[in-house]
């Protein structure tokens, strides 16, 4: 009997050792206060976004949860206020799949909030379909939506320097390619969705790179981050049979949302990393990306094409 009881104990101990040493990743050690600062977190109602927002709130920031789903966002705001003891946590409606919604959000925010110190472009999607403006859903939300949002909020960030922009990317960028002849694939098959996701994450990194070039001398800095492989609801649109297989394994061997949020938090608050603006971070440390993810010519062209797609040059 004693041996039978010992086996589960060893298994649990081994799992804890593996998780904390090989899965969890580094933690942000900064204790920087954000009192008097304002932070926007897109997708701040669930997963990595909610964990990032909770950390910002614990530091004393005024936190805006920019989310599509009002019910879950208001519940998240209430939860974050309770856990942080900070009542300055608010929901504002934002649907990144709609340029009209993005513009409406920015108009509301800019007319009601005098400050913006940190913008965390966290929200992401992986699914079939198109945005309300006819873009591939994944590329439209993950890249174009945040591109437009950042563009419209940039002047306020410049007014509140030093300020920061954090862009949630992914190591999936390694398999991404920017095909300027086909930036808007149909997104009707899971193969197309997978490709579009990798492409969008590459676009996130190139966006941060070109944004940093354009922000030189402004004291606004930006960083692309990889959160690790995290158990979130990003896979909510996966086929049911795949969910049945993936989620139980993920519960054991993927990072928690709070552990996955650490690099986003690090790039939002860590002092002394300003000269790394435009670079890519993972596990709270700088990481070199593959050559195709640091191609300045492609980054600049993607910026220009994105402006054209969104009508920002008119």
Listed residue (84, 106, 120) closest to 225, CA to CA: 120
Q: Is residue 90 within a helix (H) or strand (E), and if so which, with residue range?
A: strand 89-93
Q: How far apart are CA 85 and CA 221, in angstroms?
A: 29
The residue ranges of every structural domain in the chain are 30-309
Residue 130 has which token pair? 């198109």
Q: How far apart are CA 311 and CA 314, in angstroms?
A: 6
User: Which pLDDT value is given to residue 275?
Assistant: 97
Is the CA virtual torsion 69, 75, 78, 82 positive or negative?
Answer: negative
| Fold (topology level) of 30-309 | Rossmann fold (3.40.50)
User: Which pLDDT value is given to residue 251?
Assistant: 46
User: Which pLDDT value is given to residue 185?
Assistant: 86
**Residues belonging to the active site:** 197
- Average pLDDT by stretches of 10, the chain with 314 residues: 57 52 76 98 97 98 98 98 98 98 98 98 94 96 98 98 98 95 86 94 98 97 90 54 52 79 98 98 96 97 97 85
Phi, psi of 45, rounded to the nearest 5 degrees: -95, -20
Whole-structure pTM value? 0.89
User: Which pLDDT value is given to residue 229?
Assistant: 77
User: Which pLDDT value is given to residue 106?
Assistant: 98
């Amino acid at each position: 009997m004693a041996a039978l009881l010992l086996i589960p104990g060893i298994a649990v101990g081994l799992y804890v050792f593996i998780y904390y040493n090989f899965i969890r990743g580094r933690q942000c050690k900064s204790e920087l206060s954000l009192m008097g600062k304002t932070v926007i977190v897109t997708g701040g109602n669930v997963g990595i976004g909610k964990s990032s927002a909770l950390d910002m709130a614990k530091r004393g920031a005024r936190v805006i949860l920019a989310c599509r789903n009002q019910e879950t966002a208001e519940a998240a705001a209430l939860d974050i206020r309770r856990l942080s003891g900070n009542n300055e946590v608010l929901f504002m409606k934002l649907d990144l799949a709609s340029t009209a919604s993005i513009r409406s959000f920015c108009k509301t925010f800019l007319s009601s909030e005098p400050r913006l110190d940190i913008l965390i472009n966290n929200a992401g999607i992986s699914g079939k379909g198109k945005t309300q403006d006819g873009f591939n859903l994944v590329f439209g939300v993950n890249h174009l939506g945040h591109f437009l949002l950042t563009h419209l909020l940039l002047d306020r960030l410049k007014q509140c320097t030093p300020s920061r922009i954090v862009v949630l990317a992914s190591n999936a960028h390694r398999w991404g390619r920017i095909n300027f002849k086909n930036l808007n694939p149909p997104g009707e098959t899971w193969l197309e969705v997978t490709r579009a996701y990798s492409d969008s994450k590459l676009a996130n990194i190139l966006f941060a790179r070109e944004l940093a070039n354009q922000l030189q001398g402004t004291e606004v800095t930006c960083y692309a981050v990889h959160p690790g492989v995290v158990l979130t609801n990003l896979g909510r649109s996966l086929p049911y049979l795949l969910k049945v297989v993936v989620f139980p394994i993920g519960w054991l061997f993927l990072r928690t949302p709070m552990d996955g949020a650490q690099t986003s938090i690090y790039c939002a608050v860590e002092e002394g990393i300003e000269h790394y603006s435009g670079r890519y971070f993972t596990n709270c440390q700088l990481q070199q990306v593959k050559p195709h993810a640091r191609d300045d010519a492609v980054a600049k062209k993607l910026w220009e094409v994105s402006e054209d797609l969104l009508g920002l040059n008119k």
